[in-house]
Amino acid sequence: MTSLAVIFMGQAGCGKSNLCASFGKWLKENEKSFKLINLDPGAEYIPFNPNFDIRQYFTISDIMKKEKLGPNGAMIRANNKINEISDEIIEKIIGSEDFILIDLPGQLETFIFRQSGANFIQKLQTKIRVVGIYLIDAEFLSSATDFVIATLIGTSCSLQLPIDVVSILHKSDKIINQEIIKIVHDFDFLKKKVIEEKKGAMINVVLPILDNILEPIARIIKTSSVTNEGMLELYELINEIFCACGDIS
């Protein structure tokens, strides 16, 4: 099996680091080799022992002090620095392991939606197979509109990056309103709920988006770092992207 880099991305607090840790644990239990990579220079704590840690090069706190920047400016500068030393980083993280699990910075917009972050991922995918996993935070989904917005952000990541990006519903253990599950898996029900929530002129804008963008999206699996729900399904999903036959051996 050729190494596969899995990039976990999503908005701040969506659970990327915990999913990296729990998926790595699942891989170990199933006798798959892997590396854990931390590319978040702003993290004060991560729930895994990384094989590569960008904080050994610089941290957000260091940049703020040295360059007299605020936290957002320091994060942008850090991402530029990651791009500047991308060759060295990529050389260190690529290996013979089955999977390379990469935890991105929590501020999605400062990495994915800026050219420096996109450039890093583009360079990485010239060296190794890469797939992006976009985490939709189930804890904060309270309506169909919330789900549409979250899914469109994931779609934006697909447009911005030269890799396949698939969305998953993370923190499934936090779902209280079971209607959310039906919204995620039943497109007709999703459409019905959006129409109820967005009455008026705005619905004429939303409906074409649902029909043309959301309906064709493949199944969205549920995962949880607390219950370990969905780890096998995540493994299968990652492999199916690169194997039309769906063989996960």
* CATH no., domain 4-137+147-174+219-242: 3.40.50.300
**Distance of alpha carbon 206 from alpha carbon 194, whole angstroms:** 8
The position carrying tokens 């993290």 is 43
The position carrying tokens 């500047």 is 84
**Distance of alpha carbon 229 from alpha carbon 235, whole angstroms:** 12
Burial class (CB in 10 A: 0-12, 13-18, 19+), 245: exposed
**Distance of alpha carbon 72 from alpha carbon 107, whole angstroms:** 9
**Distance of alpha carbon 240 from alpha carbon 164, whole angstroms:** 12
Burial class (CB in 10 A: 0-12, 13-18, 19+), 114: middle
For strands 164-170 and 129-137, give the pairing: parallel
212 closest CA partner among 127, 143, 151: 151
Distances 46 to 16, 19, 56, 168, 181 between C-alpha atoms, Å = 10, 11, 14, 21, 29
For the chain, what are the domain ranges? 4-137+147-174+219-242
**Distance of alpha carbon 181 from alpha carbon 169, whole angstroms:** 9
**Distance of alpha carbon 148 from alpha carbon 141, whole angstroms:** 10
Q: Which residues contact 174 (CB under 8 A, 6 or more apart)?
A: 138, 139
Q: Are 115 and 160 in contact (CB under 8 A)?
A: no
pLDDT of the chain, 249 residues: tens digit per residue: 578 999 999 998 999 999 999 999 999 999 999 999 999 999 999 999 999 999 999 999 999 999 999 999 999 999 999 999 999 999 999 999 999 999 998 788 889 998 999 999 999 999 999 999 999 999 989 898 899 889 999 999 999 999 999 999 999 999 988 899 998 888 889 888 888 887 666 777 778 878 877 766 767 899 999 999 999 999 999 998 877 434 443
